[in-house]
């Protein structure tokens, strides 16, 4: 069986690539290295069943020929810079919506009928039901990132109906763990490395957040694609709890053995379009037998451990 993984050099995509290789798939990885990193693929490239294709999802010819012969697409490439959607609105449109359209068209050309897709809990906008189930009331979008992922979900579902594809759509909470390199734990870590005496925090620190450890997310993907048999299979993926931003700060500081002055910018959200609270009902996924192995606190601590062992990541961001 051959898998085609977009965003194979990204945070989640690289973990998924390794896992698929371990599950005995041949893997063609596709990445434009705009945010992906070659070092994340160090293990994968040593496996003869892995083929790396450097390319962009907006180049339809390259995409179509790279996908040839695949049985399943794992579409994990995306513009994941949720915060700066308002600065570069076209980026979400191109890297998420149009890119996903191109992936679906390449599947049609190559007669690939299965797609797993990394979506986000952001598609629920400001959810009115907590924890939020997959069948929550029809949401109103609040971020360009969420809107673009919703557009992708809609395209995938419509292609499934029109061309008899089968899809698995995963609505993730924020993910952390090894290779995590953006988002608030990363920002806090970076600030504290450069100045352990103070920490600037967007919002009031009370924003509630739910985080999933990356390997638990990978397990959800492997399990659901094996077990769920519907045409369009939609799953929330997250832990059964949440923390406040200030909780995660305490864990980070303890792990780093620093005691900064914490300066809150104030307000109930970090940035325009930030959702104050994404907390997902994962009963549907749990019914397949899935359970996350790490708590939020364990995930945060592992992430800090990883960042300490990989100072190059911080330098790469300088």
Positions touching its own copies (CB under 8 A) are: 85-86, 89-90, 93, 97-98, 101, 104-105, 124-125, 134-144, 146-148, 150-151, 153-155, 157-159, 161-163, 232, 234, 272-273
Q: How far is the CB of 298 from its own copies (least distance, A)?
A: 31
Task: Note whether 112 and 95 are within 8 A (CB).
Answer: no
Q: Is 88 exposed, middle or buried (0-12, 13-18, 19+ CB in 10 A)?
A: middle
Distance CA(124)–CA(140), nearest Å, equals 7
Judged by beta carbon, residue 9 or residue 106, the one nearer its own copies is: 106
How many residues make up the chain in this entry? 318
Tokens representing 181 are: 């390199």
**Among 270, 6, 281, which residue's Cα sits nearest to residue 117?**
6
**Among 145, 172, 180, 237, which residue's Cα sits nearest to residue 15?**
180
Q: How far is the CB of 314 from its own copies (least distance, A)?
A: 29
Judged by beta carbon, residue 83 or residue 209, the one nearer its own copies is: 83
Judged by beta carbon, residue 48 or residue 138, the one nearer its own copies is: 138
Q: How far is the CB of 147 from its own copies (least distance, A)?
A: 3
Tokens representing 241 are: 């709890």
Q: How far is the CB of 285 from its own copies (least distance, A)?
A: 16
Q: How far is the CB of 234 from its own copies (least distance, A)?
A: 7
Q: How far apart are the first and last CA of the chain?
A: 40
Judged by beta carbon, residue 162 or residue 283, the one nearer its own copies is: 162
Judged by beta carbon, residue 124 or residue 211, the one nearer its own copies is: 124
Task: Note whether 301 and 247 are within 8 A (CB).
Answer: no
Q: What are the beta bridge partners of residue 236? A: 171
Strands 232-237 and 211-213 come out as unpaired
Q: What is the three-class DSSP state of 209?
A: strand
Q: How far is the CB of 6 from its own copies (least distance, A)?
A: 18
Judged by beta carbon, residue 60 or residue 310, the one nearer its own copies is: 60
Q: How far is the CB of 259 from its own copies (least distance, A)?
A: 36
Judged by beta carbon, residue 154 or residue 266, the one nearer its own copies is: 154
Q: How far is the CB of 142 from its own copies (least distance, A)?
A: 5
Judged by beta carbon, residue 89 or residue 267, the one nearer its own copies is: 89
| Angle made by CA atoms 274, 276, 281, in degrees to the nearest 5 | 115
Distance CA(205)–CA(75), nearest Å, equals 33
In sequence order, the 6+-apart residues with CB closer than 8 A to the CB of 218 are 12, 15, 16, 19
């Amino acid at each position: 069986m051959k898998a085609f993984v977009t965003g194979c050099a990204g945070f989640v995509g690289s973990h998924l690539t390794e896992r698929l290789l371990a599950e005995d798939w041949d893997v063609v990885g596709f990445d434009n290295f705009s945010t992906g990193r070659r070092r994340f693929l160090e293990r994968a490239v040593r496996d003869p069943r892995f083929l790396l294709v450097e390319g962009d999802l907006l180049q339809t010819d390259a995409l179509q020929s790279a996908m040839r012969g695949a049985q399943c697409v794992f579409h994990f490439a995306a513009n994941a810079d949720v915060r700066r959607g308002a600065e570069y609105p076209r980026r979400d449109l191109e890297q998420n919506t149009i890119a996903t359209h191109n992936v679906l068209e390449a599947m049609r050309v190559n007669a690939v009928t299965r797609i797993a897709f990394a979506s986000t809990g952001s598609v629920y906008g400001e959810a009115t039901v907590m924890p939020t189930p997959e069948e929550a009331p029809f949401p109103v979008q609040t971020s360009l990132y969420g809107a673009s992922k919703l557009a992708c979900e809609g395209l995938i579902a419509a292609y499934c109906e029109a061309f008899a594809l089968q899809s698995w759509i995963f609505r993730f909470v924020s993910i952390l763990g090894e290779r995590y390199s953006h988002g608030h734990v990363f920002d806090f870590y970076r600030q504290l490395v450069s100045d352990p005496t103070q920490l600037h925090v967007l919002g009031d620190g009370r924003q509630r957040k739910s985080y999933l450890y990356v390997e638990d997310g990978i397990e959800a993907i492997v399990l659901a694609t094996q077990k769920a048999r519907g045409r369009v299979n939609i799953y929330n993926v997250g832990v059964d709890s949440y923390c406040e931003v200030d909780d995660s700060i305490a864990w980070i500081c303890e792990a780093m053995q620093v005691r900064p002055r914490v300066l809150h910018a104030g307000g109930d959200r970090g940035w325009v379009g930030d959702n104050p609270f994404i907390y997902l009902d994962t009963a549907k996924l749990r019914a397949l037998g899935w359970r996350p192995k790490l708590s939020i606190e364990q995930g945060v601590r592992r992430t800090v451990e990883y960042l300490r062992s990989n100072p190059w990541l911080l330098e790469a961001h300088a």
